[in-house]
Amino acid sequence: MQIDTNVLDLATTLQVGDVVFIRVRARPFREVATATASWTNHVGIVVANSGTETSIAESTFPLSRTTSLKRFAARSEHGRIAIARPRQPLTALQQVRLSEAVRHRMGIWYDTGFNLHSRRQFCSRFVREVLAESADIRVGELETFKELLARQPDAALGFWRLWYFGRIPWERETVTPASLLRSPALELLFDGIVQPAHAAANRSGGAQA
Read off the pLDDT of each residue in 66-90 and give the average, rounded to a whole number: 97
Give the Cα separation of 127 and 122 in Å (integer): 9
Provide the percentage of residues in the chain whose pLDDT is more than 70.
92
CATH 3.90.1720.10 fits 2-197, yes or no: yes
pLDDT score for 38: 96
Torsion angles phi and psi, residue 192, rounded to 5? -175, -165
Confidence of residue 207 (pLDDT cuts 50, 70, 90): very low
* Residue ranges covered by each domain of the chain: 2-197
Q: What is the mean pLDDT of the chain?
A: 92
Q: How many CB atoms within 10 Å of residue 102?
A: 24
Torsion angles phi and psi, residue 43, rounded to 5? -150, 145
Q: Which residue has the higher pLDDT, 5 or 93?
A: 93
Residue 17 to residues 34, 89, 91, 124, 197, Cα–Cα distance (Å): 27, 9, 10, 14, 23
Angle of helix 92-104 relative to helix 123-135, nearest 10 degrees, comes to: 140
Burial 153-165 (b: 16+ CB within 10 A, else e): eebbeeebeebbe
Examine the pLDDT at 208 and tell me if it is beyond 50. Answer: no
Q: Say if strands 186-195 and 2-6 run parallel, antiparallel, or are unpaired.
A: parallel
The overall pTM is greater than 0.85: yes
